[in-house]
Chain A
Amino acid sequence: MAMKVDMSALETNFSIPCLDDGDGMHLSADSPDVPSMVLPTCADFDGFQAATKDMVKNKRGTTTLAFIFDKGVIVAADSRASMGGYISSQTVRKIIEINPYMLGTMAGGAADCQFWHRNLGNKCRLHELSNKRRISIAGASKLLANILYSYRGMGLSIGTMIAGFDEKGPGLYYVDSEGARLVGNRFSVGSGSLYAYGILDEGYRFNMSVEEAAELARRAIYGATFRDAASGGCVSVYHVGPDGWKKLSGDDVGELHYHYYPVQKTPVEQEMTDAPSTSA
C-alpha cells in the first residue's frame, strides 16, 4: 500500500480578513500555524500602514551576503542596527539559525525577520515530523515567500536569504517582503550590498577552499562597513556544508581595518630635542 504523503504542513492557510464583534477587523486563521493578527480599523488603511512604516524607521541599514561554491554555502553579515542616524546596537545577530542545516539572514525590520524566521523554523520542523524527511531549501524558501506574499503591502520589511544544504546539494534563495523569490549563486542584501558586490564579484571563484571563501566574505562585508554608514559592528561568517552549518568567525570590524591596513609609522621630519643646558 502506498504511503500517502502528508502535505498539510506545506499548506499555508492564508489568514482572511473578517469582522469581529469586539475588536473590529482582524485576520482570522483556521490553522494554528498561521498567526491570527488584529488589523486596525481606520478609513485609510494603506495611508496608516505607510505612516507606521515611516514611524518604525525600517531602513535596510545592513549588509548581508551569501554565495555557493564547491564546498557548500558561505553566509556572512554585519551586526549593526540603526534607527535613522542613531546606532541602536552593534551586536545584532543577523544570521538566524533556522535548523542545523539551514540559515536565514536578516535585513530590513529586525522584528519582522526574527518572527518570520522562527515561524519558518516551526513549519520546517512540522514538515520533518510528518514526512520523516527534511524539507528542501526550495520548499522552505517557498513557504516563506508565500507567507510574505500574503502580507504584501502591509508594511513588512524583510530582505532575507535562505541558505542551506539538502539532498540536491547547496541551495541559496533570496526572499523578500514584496513576494520575490529568486534562486541564485551569489546574493548580497542591504544598504551596503553594492559595496559588498564589488569585492565579492571580483574575488569569486567556484573552486575555493573554505578558508579562502570565508576570507572573501569577510573582506566584502568589511568593505561594505567601511563605505556604508549604516553597516558596521562585527562580521560573522558561517559555512554550510553537507553536515550542517558551522560558525567560522566573528571579527570586530574596527580591529579588522587595522589588520588589513596597519598604521604606517610616518617618517619623522623634524624632531624636537631638549636644548642643551648652558652653564652660567
Chain B
Amino acid sequence: MVGKNCFAIASDRRLGVQLQTIATDFQRVFKIHDKLYIGLSGLATDAQTLYQRLVFRHKLYQLREERDMKPETFASLVSAILYERRFGPYFCQPVIAGLGENDEPFICTMDCIGAKELAKDFVVSGTSSESLYGACESMYKPNMEPEELFETVSQALMASVDRDCLAGWGGHVFIVTPTEVQERVVKGRMD
C-alpha cells in the first residue's frame, strides 16, 4: 500500500499443507535492496526459489551498473523471469513495492505468468485476495503518514485473513520510508 513518500508491504506468517499448519513464522516478504521489497504468495518452495533467483540477478545488475535497480526495471525483470516459464509456471503471485526516483513509491502485482498490474493505491495477492481488496478499498486514504499507514495495513491484513481458513497466524509488516525501514510482527488470531 502506498503512503506519503513511503510504502508498506505486509504478509501473513502461515506455512501450511492444505488444512494442516506446519509453521507460523514463515517469511514471505523479502528485501532486494534498501528501497525495494518483494512479497511472494503461493507455493512456498517456488517463493523461496524465485527470491533466490531474483537476488542473484539483482547482484549481477549491481556489479555491472554499479547501482541498485529501479523498481520499474525490477518489475519488468520479474515479469520476464515468470514468462520464461509460461508452460510450467512458478506457482507464485508476487507483489513488488519500492521507492523509485525522487523516492516516489511504486507498487505492482503480477499473476503467476508475469502479467504486470500497476496501481497507485494498493495491490494484493494470495488466498484471501478478495477479502483484502474489500478491506483495503474501504480503509485506504491517499497520502497517509508512516504511522497511520502501518495501522491501516495491519487492520486490513488482519481483518481479511480472519475470513480465510488458509491464511493468518500473525502478520509481518514492513514500512519503508526514504530514511528508514520499520519491521513489525503483528499479533493475530492463531486459528
> Which A residues have a C-beta under 8 Å from some C-beta of B?
61, 78, 80, 82, 85-87, 90, 191, 225-233, 253-254, 257-258, 263
Contacts and interface: CB of A to CB of B under 8 A. Distances in A.
A87 B165 contact: yes
B187 A61 contact: no
Report the interface size class on chain B: 10 to 19
Interface in B145-191: 162-166, 187-191
Given A232-B191, A253-B189, A254-B189, A85 B21 contact: no
B182 to A, nearest CB: 12
A61 B20 contact: no
Interface of B: 16, 18-21, 127, 162-166, 187-191
The list of the 8 closest CB pairs from A to B, nearest first, reads A232-B191, A254-B189, A225-B191, A257-B190, A229-B165, A253-B191, A229-B19, A87-B163
A230 B20 contact: no
A101 B162 CA distance: 35
A229 B190 contact: no
22 contacts: A61-B165, A80-B165, A82-B165, A85-B165, A85-B166, A86-B164, A86-B165, A226-B190, A227-B20, A227-B21, A228-B20, A229-B20, A229-B166, A230-B19, A231-B191, A232-B189, A232-B191, A233-B191, A253-B189, A253-B191, A254-B191, A263-B187
Contacts, number: 55
Contacts of B18: 229
Contacts of A78: 191
Contacts of B166: 85, 229
Contacts of A225: 190-191
A191 B165 CA distance: 12
* A87, A253, A258 — most chain B CB neighbours (10 Å): A87
